[in-house]
Every structure is written in C-alpha cells, then in structure tokens.
Amino acid sequence: MQPEDRNRLRHMIDAARTARGFLAGRQRTDLNTDEMLRFAVVRAVEIIGEAASRVSPSGRAAVPGVPWPAIVSMRNRMVHAYFDIDHDVVWRTVQVELVPLMSSLQAALDMPSDPTRAD
C-alpha cells in the first residue's frame, strides 16, 4: 500500500476515535441540544469521508470490506446538504459503524508492506 494511502487510513482511524470520544457517555438527545457537540461530531465524520475519498483505488482494494463509496457519499451529503443532516444517522454511524471500520483499517495498517510490490 502506498505511503499516502496508509496516512489516509490513519487519518480515518484518528477521526473515528475522535468522534467516538465526543459521544462517549452521551445520549442521542445531546446531538439535538449541544450545538458544539453536533458540529464536532459532524466534522469528524466529514474528515473520515474526505480521507476516504483520497485513498487510491489500489489502497481501497487492500481493504475490501470497507464501504468506500458510502463513506465518501456521506461526507458529500454532510458538506453539501449541511442544512438537512439526519442526526439519527450520524449517531448510528458513530456508535455502530465506526468500530468495525476502525478494526478493518487497523488490520490493513498492521499488515506488513511488500517492498517488492509497486502499488
């Protein structure tokens, strides 16, 4: 995997951990009442999508279980339709979807790089 792709995977993991940390000990209703929390969580999810959009096709192929198009589409929706974000979807994404995503990305990073292979 190309070094740039590895960096993007790390960015995705970091942003996912950050989003999960923001919601630790919180309730779903907190997204409705805490504007700073809402902005922070949405931004972290946007970063995941932006980093995903910059992973090369070969980098994506190295992590086949990741729903790359869905991640990028969610980022695009949040950025371009910021006025109509479904916070139930954001909550579910952070609380349910990010844990397996982080595991898949970390597993890809933990695989030794093959120096003889040109990605």
Residues noted as catalytic? 75, 80
Closest of 103, 20, 13 to residue 65, by C-alpha:
103
6: nearest Cα among 44, 78, 84, 59: 59
CA distance 114 to 40: 37
Q: Which two tokens stand for residue 19?
A: 């989003």
